[in-house]
Amino acid sequence: MRFELDEDQREFKALLRTFVDKEIVPVAREWEQSGRYPTEIVDGMKEMGLFGITVPEEYGGLDLDPVSFALVFEEIARGWMGVAGILGSHSLACRLIAMHGTQDQKDRYLPALATGERRTGIGLTEPDAGTDLQGIRTTARLDGDHYVVNGAKMWITNARYADPLPVLVKTDPQASPAHRGMSVLLIEADTPGYEVTKDIAKLGYKGTESCEIALTDVRVPVSQLVGGVEGKGMQQVLSALEWGRVNIAARSVGIAQRAHEEALAYAQQRKAFGQPIADFQAIQLKLGELGTQVQASRLMAYWAADAVRRGRADGATGMAKIFCSEVALQAAIDAMKVHGGYGYSTEYEVERLYRDSILMSIGEGTNDILRTVVAKSLIKGETRVG
């Protein structure tokens, strides 16, 4: 078994780290606190081709393997997790279109999405439906050569920039089971009745907007039905979310890595009783455990990403998302403890890492729900331990 990146992946990771250290780390805390949108960082990601990481090369994308995909989110989240979110939803939507879209949909959208000229997100969550996607209420009624869409979506990342936005709807609300009546429509931003109503204030995950969207008698051409066949929406979304769990696991590793770096540096610099606090055994125990858990989470994330490369990997990605997200939260807490009172101050990075880490156990399916996904995969023999 191999536990190392290949040469191309190592060079790619080094390139990403240089970009993050130069363009993101110096401004993240100030811009996050002021609510400033990271326009310059987005432009830099465009120049690097990062908006095309899940777009096939024939459409101008990088078409990264899943491990290299994970590296992008690990490194960017090490600098600022919210900025990683700008790429996250965009990349999942691009993959959904690339995997399931009609040839016309791929030709029309993927080239501009690959460059960042167009950006996108993914419209799944609703006020009364989060993890339970089969409970969505947004409907799309066929009327001639258009669907008429009514409903609402919330917590939509990139909502103010998404064009088009893939939106999960019920084309047959009476279907049983419900997923057989679910489809995805590509809704363009200037369509009458499609309105981004407000930005949702958040504890963390800043740098990108999370919005509510109202859909009122939105007329969407039949040609915007992903894949051109009704009833395939749930399968299309789940295939994209498998990569989404790798995304969240990798972002968690990035947060944990930064927490480790901040704790280690502070412990060597801060003095108490005439010596660096890194000399005290109590601090050493925290640093040793923190470093061990960060490295374990990294290996788990890469293992899950490689499992995706080899085929369907619900169990592996679920395990990685659960483990890495919980390591991220504990790493942020431990880094705050190493900093003492200063860890609670907004003058230091660790309080932001703490606020960002909490979302990792909620996003892309809550950890408790994912534990049932992992259990079912183990029972069916789809995932093996050992």
Supply the DSSP symbol for 384.
-
Q: Which residues pair with 142 in a beta bridge?
A: 147
The CA-atom distances, in angstroms, between 83 and each of 88, 148, 220, 384 are 9, 34, 31, 34
Q: Give the amino acid at 11.
A: E
CA 111 from chain centre, in angstroms, equals 22
Q: Indicate the DSSP class of residue 201.
A: P
CB neighbours of 381 closer than 8 A, spacing ≥ 6?
none
Alpha-carbon gap, residue 275 to 268, rounded angstroms: 9
Q: What is the CA radius of gyration of the chain?
A: 21
Positions marked catalytic: 364
Task: Give, as one character, the DSSP assignment of residue 179.
Answer: G
CA angle 218, 223, 226 (to 5 degrees): 90
